[in-house]
Amino acid sequence: MRLSMSVNAEAPVVASVPDAGYLSVHLNMSHRPKDGDFGRSVQIAGIETGETETIHSEWPTRDLKIGDVVELRILSDGVGGVPCKRRATSDHPSNLISNPALAKELLHEVSTFQSRIWQLVSKSEQGEPPDEHKKLATAVGHVIYQIGQHLLHPVFRRHKELIPDELKGELL
């Protein structure tokens, strides 16, 4: 995907997302007297969505004034200009464990914990009143979600080969 944007027929900014993802133009106008925020601007943003990598790109923001003309053109696929900001999930400081064997061991331990904690939740269904069981199941669900966000996904982003089949194709 590729597009160009020019303001008042000036040199265009060309942006592209070469693989799967999104390419957007954001025209923003604000009138917030209490915040002292009065503005008009336009910007191109792109998101490339790979199996274990998401890349957010931004091209320069252009300030606008009344009467400005913003022209957008949809272009054939090709190379775009260099974004002014680029953030990749693989660059995130929270990605974990460079050693594949240690990563595999962590995933095994997390899997064991998750299995055992869900067994406990199942037991609570017989041994606890329904409202207490529901509270435990909800709390465990939150913990499992956080484990995914802070342990599993940061490992999967570094070790694509360790992603279980049921998670392949999902964004991490």
| 86-113 confidence digits (pLDDT tens) | 988 777 777 788 899 999 999 999 999 9
Q: Report the pLDDT value the prediction gives residue 121, as an integer from 0 to 100.
A: 96
Name the token pair of 4.
């160009």
| 52-95 confidence digits (pLDDT tens) | 778 899 999 999 999 999 999 999 999 999 999 998 877 777 77
Name the token pair of 158.
């570094």
Q: Report the pLDDT value the prediction gives residue 35, as an integer from 0 to 100.
A: 86
Task: Provide CB contacts within 8 A for 106, sequence distance 6+.
Answer: 96, 97, 151, 155
Kindly indicate the confidence band of residue 51, based on its pLDDT and cuts at 50, 70 and 90: confident
If you write DSSP's letter for every residue of 5-60 in order, what string do you get?
EEETT-PPEEEE--SSEEEEEEEEEEEEGGGTEEEEEEEEEEEEE-SS-EEEEEPP
Q: Looking at this protein, which amino acid is placed at residue 150? A: H
Residue 160 has pLDDT above 90, yes or no: no
Let me know the angle formed at the C-alpha of 132 by 128 and 135, rounded to the nearest 5 degrees.
140
Mean pLDDT in the chain? 91
Q: Report the pLDDT value the prediction gives residue 47, as an integer from 0 to 100.
A: 94
- Angle formed by the axes of helices 100-127 and 130-147, nearest 10°: 170
